[in-house]
Amino acid sequence: MGLARHTLLWASQNQWLGRQFQTRAFARRASRRFLPGEDVESALTAAEVLQANGMSTLITLLGENVTCAEEAESVAREYSAVHANIIERGIDCQLSMKPTQLGMNLDVEVCVQQLGSILQAKPSSDGIIWIDMESSAYVGRTLDLVEQASQTSSNIGLCLQAYLHRTRDDLERLIQLRIPVRLVKGAYKEPSSVAIQKKSDVDEYYFALAERMLDAASRDVGWFPAFGTHDMRLITRIGEAARGIGLRNSSFEFEMLYGIGRENQGLLTDDGYLVRVLVSYGSAWFPWYMRRLAERPANVWFVFKSLLSR
Helix (H, G, I), strand (E, B) or coil at 48: helix
Of 182, 276, 291, 292, which one is the catalytic site residue?
182
CB 49, CB 55: distance < 8 Å: no
> Is 166 among the residues known to form the active site?
no
CA dihedral 17, 297, 200, 273 (to 10 degrees): 110
Q: For residues 28 and 293, give the distance between their C-alpha atoms in angstroms, rounded to a whole number.
A: 15
Of 132, 170, 203, 231, which one is the catalytic site residue?
132
CB 99, CB 129: distance < 8 Å: no
> Is 182 among the residues known to form the active site?
yes
| 3-class DSSP string for 95-156 | EEECHHHHCCCCCHHHHHHHHHHHHHCCCHHHCCEEECCCCHHHHHHHHHHHHHHHCCCCCE
C-beta atoms surrounding 71 within 10 Å: 16
Residues tagged active-site: 132, 182
